[in-house]
Structure 1
Amino acid sequence: MAETGVAALRRSPLAHLTEAMRAAAVTGARGVALAERPFLTMVNLRVAPGSAAAGRVEKVLGVPLPRACGDTATDGSRTAVWLGPDEWLVVSPASSGEGTAGIAQALGGAPGSVVDVSAHRTTLELSGPSARQVLEKGCPLDLHPRVFGPGRAVSTTVGPVGVLLWQVDDAPTYRLLARSSFADHLARRLIDAMGEFGGPEVP
């Protein structure tokens, strides 16, 4: 069935680079692939950790709120990412229908905030045996598995672009959550970095 209304008009920030990202993919032992994962639901949450309100929110989310920098918690479909001592980003699939109402209701009158920031960022997914080497060309973090592994997520930069970098698994697969207005620059930078492993230049 064809989409109607607003959904039919929705266009992701990197739709114009879909073919370029697909063409840049490299297979084999040095393989690496790049794709956009658009329209993920993202909710920014602020609440006092360990408070009664935080406990209610955790019950609604079905995951505990991580307590340390770089930590995440997931139930397979929803992930809470630590952003600060009292701040988290809750990421859900685009089709989940996750909204702010249930979380806000759990927060009640306690100090804090619940804000849908889904339109603020888009998500790039970089995966494959050479994904770490591609990232290391522009990211200042030590991404060696002894330091940064599955389930880790931190704010950093790739070149001049600020991102929330999240390693999803040990393939490795990385998700880079970047402001939509900077996504084009980030994608083109990654495509260029992939060229060493066999991908073409971006048109």
Structure 2
Amino acid sequence: MVDFTLESKAVLDGFNHDWNGTRLRELTEMAAVAVSVPKDGAAALNKKLKTAYGANAPAAGESFVGKGDARVMSFAEDQFMILFNHTAHSGVPAIEKKLGDTGYYVEQTNNWVFLELSGPLARAALERLCPINTHPDKFPVDRAERTNMEHMGAVLCRTGEDTFLIMSASSTAGSFLHALETSVEYVS
């Protein structure tokens, strides 16, 4: 019998590059859990969510950073996603511990690659790839939208003045990273 050990590895090997103050990096210790609200269960779930994270479920297209630096973001009515720093393979047990049986939970961690684009050229680079108007008047901090970038599905969330969380399918992570790198290089 062969003796071997499996080791976890970041989707993009922890990519981290800086172009004169504009930085693109992979967030490697992020968990993502999708939460669906049961029929007639919004009040009970919101009560637990407020205790655990400090607020009710956000409206579609909105997000907030709650207790423990968890980001709660929504793209549709009665559905939201919780992103939080977590090294284990599955984030569901951590969410179940906080929210109990008030919602339906689906592990999303390994389905996504999580990237952060920050710096003075972040918006210019995104404008080349993304149909969303990222001007601060139209896309304020904590806005979160599903979109396409270079024909690939993505989630874009503005997390700071010049900082964006970008999520895309882990299955196309290499192509997605290439598109982002090329766009940043073009505007720098």
TM class, shorter-length: 0.7 to 0.9
Deviation sequence 1:39-90 (CA, Å, 0-9, x none): 301111011574223322432x323233422211212511110121000100
Equivalence for 2:138: 147
Contact 2:157 2:165 in 1 (8 A): yes
Q: Look up the equivalent residue of 1:173 and give its one-letter code.
A: T
Higher mean Cα deviation, 89-98 or 187-196? 89-98
In the TM superposition, what are the counterparts of 1:15-164 in structure 2 within 5 Å?
A: 15=13, 18=15, 22=17, 25-27=18-20, 31-48=21-38, 50-59=42-51, 61-75=52-66, 77-95=69-87, 99-101=91-93, 103-104=95-96, 106-108=99-101, 112-164=103-155
Please, what TM-score do these two structures have when normalized by structure 1?
Answer: 0.78
Counterparts of 2:54 and 2:171, CA distance in 1: 31
Distance 1:36 1:151, change over 3 A: same
Equivalent pairs, count: 180
Counterparts of 1:47 and 1:58, CA distance in 2: 14
Residue in structure 2 matching 1:189, options 179, 183, 186: 179
Question: Identity of aligned pairs, percent?
Answer: 22
Q: Look up the equivalent residue of 1:100 and give its one-letter code.
A: V
Equivalence for 2:159: 168
Task: Give the superposition deviation at 1:93.
Answer: 0.9
Counterparts of 2:95 and 2:11, CA distance in 1: 27
Please, what TM-score do these two structures have when normalized by structure 2?
Answer: 0.84
Contact 1:43 1:89 in 2 (8 A): yes
Q: Look up the equivalent residue of 2:96 and give its one-letter code.
A: A
Counterparts of 2:12 and 2:89, CA distance in 1: 22
Counterparts of 1:90 and 1:118, CA distance in 2: 10
For the aligned residue pairs, the C-alpha RMSD in angstroms reads 2.4
Return the structure number with greater strand share: 2
Equivalence for 1:201: none
- 2:69 is paired with a residue of what secondary structure? coil
Q: Which runs of 5+ in 1 are unaligned?
A: 199-203
Residue in structure 2 matching 1:11, options 4, 9, 17: 9
Distance 1:85 1:102, change over 3 A: same
Task: Give the superposition deviation at 1:14.
Answer: 0.9
